[in-house]
Amino acid sequence: MLYAGCHLSNSAGNLAMVETAVSIGANTFAFFTRNPRGSQAKKEDPEDSAKAVQALKDHNFGPLVAHGAYTMNLCTAEASAREFAASILCDDLRRMAALPGNYYNFHPGSHVGQGVEAGIDYIVQALKKALEPGYPVTVLLETMAGKGSEIGGKFEELKAIIDGVGSDEIGVCLDSCHISDGGYDIVNDLDGVLQEFDRVIGLDKLKALHLNDSKNPFGSHKDRHELLGEGYLGEQTFQNIVNHPVLKKLPMILETPNDLPGYAREIALLRNLQK
């Protein structure tokens, strides 16, 4: 079964997100755990979450892929900002326990001149504190485009974080736009990229996909998403992805510049690309 969905607003609650997903043909989705450009989080509603969990089971959903706020930089230079980001991470994982068995994805962060090694160490320490044993949620590091001082544009950087944390509850979400912009050629050599991922990190750590075309050419390190088939990746790349034996069972989340009707069309497109 292909698990395909998109980013949805949680403004009306968790159950409403499930219902919206069903209405557009999705059987997974992503949502921000709090304001993506800030830090404010929606008030928790255990009854709503319980109904959402049941609805997910009733409609045979695959794993959800929640997303941490863009402003949560675990390796920023300012100590107080790092501490605040770490507290957000802890709170988000605690909140995710209301939707057990799902994923929490986030951008590793930007070291802003401190150096990659120092940035990775800050990220590792924050994750070690946040990932309490027994939490029913897996944390995913997102592959990045490598712009500026971003960490996560190279598989080796993600591997260093994973090894440093030393937890089974950590994996990777591969973003198609980011990885192409970052210099991994999934258009012409998808198998080769996955072999490299397996060599460095291990395919057992690959848990989810963000499917986005790119407005920029290969290796640009710019990170600008485009509608599926309308950018430099092209429709054939996504056909290769949805039919790849390693990738086709993973939850696939659209982050294209779209609205709900557009997402419904792209979800249908992904299903139609299946052979």
Q: 186, 233 in Cβ contact below 8 A? A: yes
Catalytic residue list contains 3: no
Q: Residue 44 has what DSSP assignment?
A: P
Name the catalytic one among 7, 122, 142, 263: 142
Can you tell me the distance from the alpha carbon of 140 to that of 274, in angstroms, rounded to the nearest whole number? 26
Q: 124, 163 in Cβ contact below 8 A? A: no
Name the catalytic one among 210, 213, 263, 266: 210
Name the catalytic one among 70, 163, 199, 235: 70
Catalytic residue list contains 196: no
Catalytic residue list contains 181: no
Catalytic residue list contains 244: no
Name the catalytic one among 34, 67, 82, 95: 67
Class of residue 44 by CB neighbours under 10 A (exposed 0-12, middle 13-18, buried 19+): exposed
Catalytic residue list contains 178: yes
Name the catalytic one among 37, 59, 199, 271: 37
Residue among 138, 206, 151 at smallest CA distance from 178: 151
Catalytic residue list contains 210: yes
Name the catalytic one among 213, 255, 263, 266: 255
Task: Quote the distance between the C-alpha of residue 139 and its chain's center.
Answer: 9
Catalytic residue list contains 107: yes
Query: What is the DSSP pairing of strand 102-106 with strand 170-175?
Result: unpaired
Class of residue 113 by CB neighbours under 10 A (exposed 0-12, middle 13-18, buried 19+): exposed
Catalytic residue list contains 67: yes
Name the catalytic one among 82, 95, 107, 111: 107
Name the catalytic one among 7, 34, 82, 225: 225
Name the catalytic one among 3, 82, 178, 266: 178
Give catalytic residue positions.
Answer: 37, 67, 70, 107, 142, 175, 178, 210, 223, 225, 255
